[in-house]
Amino acid sequence: MSYHDDNFGEWQDMHEEGMVEFYHQVQRESVEKVCKQCGETVRLRRQYVICNDCADMNEGSRPQW
Ligand SMILES: [Zn+2]
């Protein structure tokens, strides 16, 4: 099973304790949104306004618009 979402992209270190749980928690917290940067419809946590691809392009910085 691979772990991937629009909040963080590819999840690493899933063997670490609590990581799978955290992943599912993030999924539960995520809602459908339009990314403020690229305009794609994505599933994001409420406090995020841009997707992981855009955050990567910004070198990890996420604006809080
Ligand atoms: Zn985006």
Residue 22 DSSP SS3: helix
Q: How many CB atoms within 10 Å of residue 12? A: 10
Looking at residue 6, its pLDDT comes to: 97
CA of 11 to the centre of ligand 1 (A): 17
What values do phi and psi take at 8, rounded to 5? -125, 0
User: What's the 22 CA to ligand 1 centre distance in angstroms?
Assistant: 22
CA distance 23 to 27: 6
How far separated are the first and last CA of the chain, in Å rounded?
33
Ligand 1 centre and the CA of 56: distance in Å?
9
- pLDDT tens-digit series, residues 2-59: 899 999 999 999 999 999 999 999 999 999 999 999 999 999 999 999 999 999 999 8
Q: Are 47 and 34 in contact (CB under 8 A)?
A: no
pLDDT score of 65 more than 70: no
CA of 44 to the centre of ligand 1 (A): 10
